[in-house]
Structure 1
Amino acid sequence: MKNSAIINLSVFVFLCLFQTAEAQIVISTPSIGFTQACASPSFNTYNVSFTFSPEASLGATNQFILELSDDAGSFSNATTIYTSNQGSITTSPVNLTFSLPTSIAGESYKLRIKSTDPVASSTGSISFAAYYKIQDEPFTINNLISTGAYCSGGSYLLTIDNPGSDSNNSPLQYPSLTFNWFKETSQTTSVFVASGSTLTVNEPGTYFAQTNYGTCTSNSYSNRVTISESTTGGTSSINSSLGNPYCLSQGATTLSTINANSYQWYKDGEAISGATNQMYQTNEAGEYSVDIDLGDCNTSASINLENTGFTSSIDVLDINTIEENETLIATVTTSAVNPEFIWYLNDVAISGASNNSYEATQAGNYKVVISQTSGCSASNEFLFIVSTPFPSVANIPNLISPNGDGVNDTWVIPQEYVSGTNTEVIIISAQGDVVLKTNDYQNNWPINQLDFKAINPVYYYIITTENNQKRKGSITVVK
């Protein structure tokens, strides 16, 4: 009897261990279907896939859970972004569709999969950049005034305009956003200066702000403001809210100038009583000027205001991106009397394009000129760019063949180094000549036909990211 009891106990323990072993699964590392996640209110759908085995070990109440790490790749305080229904997933492989949190912002997120019955967990996925672009359109700084000045030894404060309105969707409305400030080094390049919602400037130059969406391309950027160091007797500028000229039928326009301690406005050389603020509203044409007290020095500004024009607006951004087979419809709204519209593509008038809207079907530089043919004889224009997305490549190529066949004609590098990432790209010839240097690479080198003085010439590249990471190598050019 004693031996029988021992045998029965041994069998029971063996069965328990066997069942425990059977109730285990192995979950593979998640495979993500993207290289970076640039979500927005209009797009926030992503895919992830994984496998598990054995299928027979899943419990009837099992749920698969998709977790998101923090922006450093740690799951110590993971966020659950997807949970399957109990028992709904029973076979492998598995494909899941999910959305990202609206607060996401960083360069090194990871995903992992967990199960509840039995309890198991995968390792983390490869790292990826992820941002939710809650505001992705131009905004204004410095009250849209294009200049500023400070006295020698002083400084000038640039701020993002707030609150938001129909004419200015201020990113300050969204507390999760952060901002980077840049200083222009040429018409197409710039350098990072500082982060924050304001910038104290004590060095002359042209500055602008951009919402920080990391390696994701951003259309959330400000107007440019040129700051100068002033001495007594220097000059600045005046902005007219309705443009110059403006149409009197639109009402009064607001004149504004740079930030300062105090002001005195003049019309046609005569001081305007009580006009001592940064802004002055008027519905009269004339020569306006303002004396500006900066504290340790004084400056002035002037504008010859005309009220014979009109106002217009266009409903597209300065820079627009369309996918293959997509189009972009641009529409002009104007107060012009009997307006005439002429649309241009790459400075060539588009035949038959004479309405207030145009459907762009190809990439290029567009312009529309609006002319008022009755009443105020005036015209104004809008410029905008239509581009196609940069192709997605994984590696930096070391061979191109610019022979015009449409295949490998230009040096196409990964999206993390192209326009919008503030990455410096330098290309140097074998003779040591710099043939390209830009912080806004468009995946378009060589822009012009190369002179093949040597068979398969070799060029060298240096890629420097915003955080000073460098990539170096060579490019062989073949016919």
Structure 2
Amino acid sequence: MYTNKTKQQLYLLLCFFILTSQEKINSQIVIGTPNLGFTQACANTEFNNFSTTFVFSPESGLNASNQFLIELSNENGDFSNATTIYTSTAGSVTTSPATLNFSIPTTTAGENYRIRIKSTAPVATSSGSASFAAYYKIQDAPFTINNLVSTGAYCAGGSYLLSIDNPGTGNNNSPLNYPSLTYSWYKETSPTTSVFVSNGATLSVNQEGTYFVETDYGSCTSNSFSNRVTITEVTSGETTAGISSSLGNPFCPDQGPTVLSAINGNSYQWFKDGVSIPEATNQMYETTESGIYAVQVDLGDCSVSGVIDLISELFEASINVEETNTIEEGETLNITVTSTATSPAFEWFLDNTLIPEATGNSFNASNFGNYTVIITETSGCEGSRTFTFTINEAFDPFPDVEKIPNLISPNGDTINDTWTLPTKYVTGTNTEVLIMDNRGKIVLQTKDYLNNWPENDLELTNVNKVFYYIITTQDNEVKKGSITIIK
């Protein structure tokens, strides 16, 4: 029989045991295997958000400071060096089931990743999830190979090297800028099917066919793939050095020069309209002009050629005057520009000064000087063409002068360059004009004087030369005097 005191002690011990057991129960939880909200984790710079749902029990077992963690295994599903990819804030997850969102690291690449859930208070760990493919596609855009040239050729018995361009032409986003990436090459078997050929950043081809390469993102669909290149086996003289234009054909020159590219070879020579282009001996050639371009490519054991009829979309234009024009004082010259430009704008300049009132395609010029007109296409393939021309005062070989000049300066400035006589002594008046040098040698004798002496270079020295003249009219009126030629 127990005494009352003993019974009391046993009762207190039983209560302590029950409380202790309850605390142990409350300090433990069980976390279920996480369910995936996806079948593949295919991330890139624009999307990297995935979810998982899990259960835990009991809810009352969580401490207020508890945090849930998501751990990611390695590419083989091993958690030995797991990476924590999500940590909840303390006490934010209190009810089951719970859904958490996470992102994968940029180094993720493999077919057999798993995740698991861990808690911190109390400490508990779920089992690993089902395996899934996961890739962070750090480069997920089309890129170029073979300098975007769609063809390649190798000599019989040889090979052709295809390689990823770095950086390549235009805005090529080369995956070679990301050293961690790997690549898979394919050969087309039909317009919609292909077979795997090899891995690597380059591919040596010794079989004809169409080839391309993709960045290796496993089972994750990717936009990181190259252009197609068709490879052929050739012998010397064949026209298979396919030429591509970086801006297309036709091209818009306001974007800058287009780059013409030929197939890969040992040496090159470019031609335009059948004429060799000096120093154009590289695989690529830049131009802004239309024309028929050709290239000869030395492949080593053989050589090939290629031709492209390159068309610039810049509008055509013409002007109705020559580069040099003459008018009399007080006259005008109508200049008209004709063009195929869309919504053209016109600017006219005289001696590099804008003529504000001249805004159309024609202009009546009355001033002497150097003119420029600029035609600009304001829509479509925007660009401009420029014409320059000069208007000089017309030369009058028979001006109305009263006196016989005794001084001339034949220096080519159109001022006092020739010995100009009054009209009663020139051609049509039957007047004889005789000119002698200072030794009496006749240098000119004519009855049809055209006010054009001296026509030839007089080989003047630093000393002025003196000539003498005798003018005899048909009425035997005689005029005599001297002519000084100044330098």
TM-score range relative to shorter protein = 0.5 to 0.7
Q: Which moved more, 1:72-81 or 1:34-43?
A: 34-43
1:476 corresponds to: none
Give the alignment partner of residue 278 of structure 1, picking from 276, 280, 283.
Answer: 283
Give the alignment partner of residue 287 of structure 1, picking from 281, 284, 292.
Answer: 292
What code does the residue aligned with 1:57 have?
G
In 2 relative to 1, CA 47–255 (structure 1 residues): closer, same or farther, beyond 3 Å?
same
Give the alignment partner of residue 48 of structure 2, picking from 40, 44, 50.
Answer: 44
2:31 corresponds to: 27
Pairwise CA RMSD: 3.3
Is residue 156 from structure 1 mapped to residue 160 from structure 2 by the alignment?
yes
Give the alignment partner of residue 209 of structure 2, picking from 201, 205, 211.
Answer: 205
* Deviation for aligned residue 1:84: 1.6
Gaps of 5+ in 2: 1-8, 316-340, 345-378, 385-487
1:82-128 deviation line (CA, Å, top 9, x unaligned): 11222332322211111121222222211100112222111111111
1:232-272 deviation line (CA, Å, top 9, x unaligned): 22222111223223345555332210111111222333332
SS in 2 for 1:185: strand
* Deviation for aligned residue 1:29: 0.2
Q: TM-score, normalised by structure 2?
A: 0.58
In 2 relative to 1, CA 374–211 (structure 1 residues): closer, same or farther, beyond 3 Å?
closer
* Deviation for aligned residue 1:185: 0.9
Is residue 256 from structure 1 mapped to residue 261 from structure 2 by the alignment?
yes
What code does the residue aligned with 2:69 have?
I
Gaps of 5+ in 1: 311-335, 340-370, 377-479
SS in 2 for 1:258: coil
CA contact 1:25–1:58 (8 Å) conserved in 2: yes
What code does the residue aligned with 2:223 have?
N
Is residue 98 from structure 1 mapped to residue 102 from structure 2 by the alignment?
yes
1:116 corresponds to: 120
CA contact 1:37–1:129 (8 Å) conserved in 2: yes
Pairing of 1:388-403 with structure 2 (within 5 A) = none
CA contact 1:245–1:309 (8 Å) conserved in 2: no
Give the alignment partner of residue 181 of structure 1, picking from 185, 193, 196.
Answer: 185
In 2 relative to 1, CA 81–375 (structure 1 residues): closer, same or farther, beyond 3 Å?
closer
In 2 relative to 1, CA 165–113 (structure 1 residues): closer, same or farther, beyond 3 Å?
farther
1:299 corresponds to: 304
Is residue 132 from structure 1 mapped to residue 139 from structure 2 by the alignment?
no
* Deviation for aligned residue 1:15: 7.4
CA distance in structure 1 between the aligned counterparts of 2:79 and 2:169, rounded to whole angstroms: 39
1:244 corresponds to: 249
CA distance in structure 1 between the aligned counterparts of 2:197 and 2:305, rounded to whole angstroms: 28
What code does the residue aligned with 2:86 have?
Y
1:293-342 deviation line (CA, Å, top 9, x unaligned): 111222221222233469xxxxxxxxxxxxxxxxxxxxxxxxx9469xxx
Give the alignment partner of residue 75 of structure 1, picking from 55, 79, 89.
Answer: 79
SS in 1 for 2:268: strand
SS in 1 for 2:190: coil
CA distance in structure 2 between the aligned counterparts of 1:227 and 1:115, rounded to whole angstroms: 58
What code does the residue aligned with 1:60 have?
A
CA contact 1:182–1:191 (8 Å) conserved in 2: yes
CA distance in structure 1 between the aligned counterparts of 2:381 and 2:23, rounded to whole angstroms: 88
In 2 relative to 1, CA 252–118 (structure 1 residues): closer, same or farther, beyond 3 Å?
closer
CA contact 1:25–1:52 (8 Å) conserved in 2: yes
1:218 corresponds to: 222
CA distance in structure 1 between the aligned counterparts of 2:247 and 2:168, rounded to whole angstroms: 19
CA distance in structure 1 between the aligned counterparts of 2:309 and 2:229, rounded to whole angstroms: 21
In 2 relative to 1, CA 309–127 (structure 1 residues): closer, same or farther, beyond 3 Å?
farther
1:321 corresponds to: none
Pairing of 1:50-65 with structure 2 (within 5 A) = 50-65=54-69
Higher-Rg member (1/2): 2
Q: Taking every aligned residue pair, what percent have the same amino acid on both sides?
A: 63
1:384-443 deviation line (CA, Å, top 9, x unaligned): xxxxxxxxxxxxxxxxxxxxxxxxxxxxxxxxxxxxxxxxxxxxxxxxxxxxxxxxxxxx
In 2 relative to 1, CA 165–67 (structure 1 residues): closer, same or farther, beyond 3 Å?
farther
* Deviation for aligned residue 1:197: 1.9
2:233 corresponds to: 229
SS in 2 for 1:172: helix
CA contact 1:67–1:111 (8 Å) conserved in 2: yes
Pairing of 1:273-422 with structure 2 (within 5 A) = 273-308=278-313, 337=342
What code does the residue aligned with 1:206 have?
T
SS in 1 for 2:130: coil
* Deviation for aligned residue 1:30: 0.3
